[in-house]
Structure 1
Amino acid sequence: MTRTTASLHRLSAALAPPRALPSGAPRVQTNSGVVQGLTLPSGVRAFRGIPFAAPPVRDRRWTPPQPALPWPGVRLADRFAHQSMQARVFGDMMFRNAGMSEDCLYLNVWAPATAAPGANLPVLVYIYGGGFVAGDGSEPRYDGERMASRGMVVVTFTYRLGVFGFLAHPELAAESPHHASGNYGHLDQVAALAWVRDNIEQFGGHPAEVTVAGESAGSYSVNALMASPLSRGLFARAIGESGAYFGASRSVSTHDDAQRHGQAFATRVGAASLADLRARSATELLEASGQPGAAPFLANIDGWFLPARPADLFAAGQQAQVPLLAGWNSEELGWRALLPDDPAPETARAVLAQRFGARAAQAERLYPVSTADEARQSLTDVASDHFMGYPTWKWMEEHQRTSGQPVYRYFYTRPRPAPVEAGVTANLAGGVTRTSDAPRDPPATGAVHSAEIEYALGNLSLNPVFGWTPDDHTVSQTMQGYFANFIKAGDPNGDGLPHWPASQHRADRPALRMRIDVVSRTEPEPRARYVFLDQTDPR
């Protein structure tokens, strides 16, 4: 949004009649002022669009989040605020917010009907995914109503993305008392957790019983928050769904490299100084950062939020010592990521040779390709392991080795059902839209990346794209139950659920993981596969 557009929005808001305060709506006192939410038909109380930090605009662009500005009277919190600046990257994202703006640091709270100050309910803080370039806490798949109905307080929030969340630059480091730059999106996450610590008791939550969870970029964020000294003590448990800063291709950059990247970006847009960059419109920066071939803006070892690589911090046992529940999906990435045509044994062997070189024969023993069916499955496994499986496995391995805390591992295998209508996909506005009649890839046979979110949080009914079946609702009840139990007690086990043992660190024995599907059961993980990948793609 340009400054001119933002000014018009403010003028329009000033001229518009104020929204009426509904009588009988729930009110809560926060550190910045009173907010008034709404009561949903289920009885759950929802508060949407609460500021947890000051708007990161103008001179606050590319600064750590500052305290939220106080307001007089009662602030209506009945609608989602802005999503952060982002391009329309992923077709499965459905937003329910006020639009896009740099003024985006807001959060949402769902609390049970009976929650009141001092109720000391457990708290779930869920971080959205989207590759650190897209996503928002207003997406229906992250809605907190169903989990709140299980006796907890749920929080989602928005954090800065892309160039706005992760640009590093020498001038930014020079103005920082910590000589750090970049990582502003992760610092937003720390600020949201600090807001929860300071305010959640008024919503009925327990500030010492917070579980931080997330999927994809959200899972990377949980991993980073466990590693960062800035978030120490802000959560008691952690859930990671598909992703961590482990593995050569998943690590963070050095601060020097990140600053060089930021300088190159400034040169590309013709900005001679930080002041020039801050004077540019948000739209111009977004468009420039999204040009074809442009390198992404990601986390770096800034010496403040991250004093070292997460891998090194976990290896030294310097991470948050909390219980961890984590895992990934059976088809995080399909074989089509490695081959354009249906694989045959000979083409699959060529892929293994290219990927593993002199160790291709050993790779084939772990990823067999003697038939076409084996080739398809093994190349799917190679792609999935490289994309999300190995980094998440290494995270669990290191945390289990150095923390002494329980680690619960899962492998999610339930494929989504077919769309309600052929050729229908989610659109960005929240409804459905027909795709073209062009030929499409065959449907996935496993659980694709992000497929588990609606199941885990109980939000199948909020996604109109797929034809959910009773089996899907069974899987959702199981996964919700495991998550809810873990959030409440640090242990996913409970009545009516298959027993899920915490894994034991044994180099000579595979850990047990919970295979989550219509019939969920424990199984040994294919440890030899991940140990092999650990040797070929360390850290």
Structure 2
Amino acid sequence: MPAVRTALRPVVGFVLAVAILTTTPATSTSAHPVQPGKNPTRVHTTLGPIVGRDEGRSSGTYSWLGIPYAEPPVGALRWRPPKPHRQWVATRHTQQYGSACTQPGRFFSPSPNGPFYDLAVRDGLQQPVGAEDCLTLNVFRPSTTKRNLPVVFFIHGGSNVVGYSADPMYDGRELARRAQAVVVTANYRTGIFGWLSTEGSGNDDPLSASGNFGTLDLVNALRFVDQNARTFGGDSDNITVMGQSAGAVNVWSLLVSPLARAMVDKAIPLSGGLSTRSVAVARAYADRVVRAAESELPSSGRTGIDLLRSLPADDLVRLLVRHQLDATPAVIADGTVIPADPYAVLGSGVGRDVPVLAGNTLEEGKLFGSAIGAHKPSDYDRFTTQYLFDPDNPGDLTPSDLLTDDYLPVDKPQGWNDAARALTDAVFTGINRDSLNALARSGNRSLYHYRFDWNQEPAPFDQVYGAVHAIDLPFVFGTFGRTVFSYAFSEQNQPGRLRLSDLMISSIRNFVHEGSPQHRGLGRTWEQWPTSLVLDADDRHVHLGSTTDRPGE
């Protein structure tokens, strides 16, 4: 793979330079690696010097938080490709997370108080949260002097509408230490700010017209990581791009994008596949947004994208929520940033040499009961219940408190289990199958997949959610503290889940180092796709199995 990247880099570099996507001006000094000394977190990036945090012996990591990788995409830069951040001379303190990107509040959004997870998240539901000045990333690495560590570039999920890199589920310290890797988490523009067709509005250079501003943000962030990997002790020829849900969709997008594919050495897409929207669909959405704005502001003197650009970000979010337009079409197969036929590109062999470790949870669909009227409480009340639930003192909560009667009992024909299975198959497993099979047909012989079956939550969440969408992330990152899934983690199930997390992190460690998730601790062979390794545990012991994908069964 390094030889392939060496051959492609001049081409990609030219494209990015023309597009003003490179983060390094021509006058930039070279990056300096982490050096032993009084403050090993003081390093010099291609943009300027920064100082991070020594997380202490208990953590065994260094971190750099809120590093800006592009100029704030505000004012005239809204719906423009990311502009390289200006260089700085004075040392910048990178010890706090940057703001989340502007979004309509949902379960996986930040608090209205900032890039935090707390009970106030419920107060931001369906309200504007975050800020447009948000293009930052975070870096974590072991507190050693080891060099040439593999790099993991993680992309958060959230339907490409919500989410933020400061979510405590994505705290990269434990994964960095145990995988012996440099872990990077990045913000990118979400929702209408990240994906909006603006063709015909004066933004007619190919990148602006593409509408894929969130994708371009990720390309720019990945370019910064590629150029600065050595600064943080990483290997720029060994970058694994990992993402979950919409983040996994974005992983596949980077794999096929001519602007990014040369920087992707390995991929870990979890609960998501290659999925795009047509230019026609994106244009139709943009037209609906414009009509909604013009109907509410007929005397503004502005029309079209100019009117949308004139609105404060929070007002634009409120407009989208009122008109039920906050679910933006993304990613757009525009023909420039994303190929017009991305599956053809995937099958042509561009990812043939990229090892892929994909995953799904068994009951992905159980997160989305609101879409079919299965969740009884409002999102506000459901969030409150889950946040305040004590897994070590469950009380008398029952499935009927959380699910409507039509879906109870959960195991009846057409009950909650059947309905959730249909959602899982329709939204997640099919697209995952299509993406992996396209790579397999291209000749890729390093494809691995897991199915995550852990459902040991205290009652009634074992039935209401079980092995739900995204619940594998705390196991991947080793983050069992206060998160949206805190209700699931009890003292009783701790021994088994920690053992399962250990095995999963060990597999990720081996994958990012060697290109295979196989390791001795599994005690069995992890066969390649279309066979999946089944990951499960009871309260004390891990249980591994296997299943082979058989479409149509």
- Cα distance in 1, alignment partners of residues 443 and 326 from structure 2: 35
1:458 paired residue number: 478
Query: What's the offset of the Cα at 1:482?
Result: 1.1
What one-letter code is carried by the residue in structure 2 that aligns with 1:55?
P
What one-letter code is carried by the residue in structure 2 that aligns with 1:480?
I
Residue from 467, 485, 489 that aligns with 1:447? 467
In structure 2, relative to structure 1, the CA distance for the partners of 1:173 and 1:409 (3 Å cut) is farther
2:63 paired residue number: 46
1:242 paired residue number: 271
Task: List aligned pairs for 1:473-488, cutoff 5 A.
Answer: 473-488=498-513
- Cα distance in 2, alignment partners of residues 31 and 170 from structure 1: 33
- Cα distance in 2, alignment partners of residues 256 and 477 from structure 1: 46
In structure 2, relative to structure 1, the CA distance for the partners of 1:189 and 1:405 (3 Å cut) is farther
2:7 paired residue number: none
* 1:225 is aligned to 2:254: yes
The answer to whether the Cα contact below 8 Å between 1:171 and 1:274 also exists between their aligned partners in 2 is no
In structure 2, relative to structure 1, the CA distance for the partners of 1:191 and 1:106 (3 Å cut) is same
When normalised by structure 2's length, the TM-score is 0.75
2:99 paired residue number: 82
Listed as ranges, the gaps of 5+ residues in structure 1 are 1-22, 246-250, 343-370, 420-439, 505-510, 533-539
2:535 paired residue number: 516
Query: What's the offset of the Cα at 1:377?
Result: 4.5
Residue from 279, 293, 315 that aligns with 2:324? 293
2:489 paired residue number: 467
When normalised by structure 1's length, the TM-score is 0.77
Report the more deviating stretch, 142-151 or 172-181.
Answer: 172-181
In structure 2, relative to structure 1, the CA distance for the partners of 1:178 and 1:372 (3 Å cut) is closer
- Cα distance in 2, alignment partners of residues 339 and 90 from structure 1: 17
Query: What's the offset of the Cα at 1:316?
Result: 3.1
Calculate the aligned-residue CA RMSD, in Å: 2.7
Query: What's the offset of the Cα at 1:513?
Result: 1.0
What one-letter code is carried by the residue in structure 2 that aligns with 1:490?
G
2:347 paired residue number: 315
Query: What's the offset of the Cα at 1:74?
Result: 0.2
SS at match of 1:316: helix
1:408 paired residue number: 448
1:8 paired residue number: none
1:164 paired residue number: 193
Report the more deviating stretch, 198-207 or 486-495.
Answer: 486-495
SS at match of 1:49: strand
What one-letter code is carried by the residue in structure 1 that aligns with 2:102?
M
What one-letter code is carried by the residue in structure 1 that aligns with 2:472?
E
* 1:266 is aligned to 2:290: yes
Deviations 1:43-78 (CA, angstroms, capped at 9, x unpaired):
311100101111111111111111111112100001
Query: What's the offset of the Cα at 1:417?
Result: 2.0
- Cα distance in 1, alignment partners of residues 148 and 461 from structure 2: 49
- Cα distance in 2, alignment partners of residues 442 and 472 from structure 1: 14
Deviations 1:307-347 (CA, angstroms, capped at 9, x unpaired):
223323223334464011112111111496668599xxxxx
- Cα distance in 2, alignment partners of residues 25 and 491 from structure 1: 32
SS at match of 2:152: strand
1:61 paired residue number: 78
Q: How many percent of aligned residue pairs carry the same amino acid?
A: 29
The answer to whether the Cα contact below 8 Å between 2:100 and 2:114 also exists between their aligned partners in 1 is no
Report the more deviating stretch, 96-105 or 209-218.
Answer: 96-105
SS at match of 2:439: helix
Report the more deviating stretch, 293-302 or 383-392.
Answer: 293-302
Residue from 217, 221, 241 that aligns with 1:212? 241
Task: List aligned pairs for 1:383-422, cutoff 5 A.
Answer: 383-415=423-455, 417-418=457-458
The answer to whether the Cα contact below 8 Å between 1:85 and 1:282 also exists between their aligned partners in 2 is yes
* 1:124 is aligned to 2:160: no
Residue from 137, 152, 164 that aligns with 1:136? 164
The answer to whether the Cα contact below 8 Å between 2:140 and 2:183 also exists between their aligned partners in 1 is yes
* 1:525 is aligned to 2:545: no
Query: What's the offset of the Cα at 1:443?
Result: 3.5
Task: List aligned pairs for 1:335-374, cutoff 5 A.
Answer: 372=412
What one-letter code is carried by the residue in structure 1 that aligns with 2:176?
A
1:103 paired residue number: 133
Listed as ranges, the gaps of 5+ residues in structure 2 are 1-37, 117-128, 295-301, 377-410
Aligned length: 447
Residue from 278, 290, 293 that aligns with 1:254? 278
- Cα distance in 2, alignment partners of residues 320 and 304 from structure 1: 21
